Amino acid sequence: MSHRVAGIDIPVGDKGLARLGDALVNLVFSYAKTRVKGRPFGEKVPDRVLSRALELSKMPFPRRLSHGERGDYVEAIIAYSWMRGLLPFEEAVATLTSEMSLSEAVSESRGMEREAAARGFSRLLLLCVERVKSRGAGGERQ
């Protein structure tokens, strides 16, 4: 099922796409945190972080969604873009790493780390939507 997101059709209601996005988002976050901290991490991104990212993006979305549904929404958009070759993995990691490094939130507190991650995922979300708008659904799978 496709929904109109910022003027484009993206299948944000597709649970399989959201699951793929969940795995991708967790890997991107873990790799970014590994780069910032200098040692390996493997973590799951909380739905509240992705929900906050959606709010920070100022993109229109159905307000009645729970944090989990908002997380699925963000994950589906990121996976959709990545599958179409519009968001290279390394660029996603670099975008998140940049945000987390700027704030030095990773060494401060869990709350600050989550806010930095939300800002980074908000940037990724906006990048994904812009690329889908400008380049369409074509492209090669990563």
Distance CA 45, CA 33 (A): 11
**Residue 22 tokens, joined:** 């969940």
Residue 67 pLDDT level (bands cut at 50, 70, 90): confident
Q: What pLDDT shows up at residue 88?
A: 96
Q: What pLDDT shows up at residue 142?
A: 41
User: Measuring CA to CA, which residue among 84, 91, 90, 81 is closest to residue 125?
Assistant: 81
Distance CA 21, CA 16 (A): 9
What is the pLDDT averaged over residues 78-100?
94
Distance CA 142, CA 130 (A): 18
Q: What pLDDT shows up at residue 104?
A: 59
Asked if 90 and 142 count as a contact pair (C-beta separation under 8 A), the reply is no
Classify domain 3-135 at the CATH topology level.
Ribonuclease iii, N-terminal Endonuclease Domain; Chain A (1.10.1520)
Query: Percentage of the chain with pLDDT > 70?
Result: 81
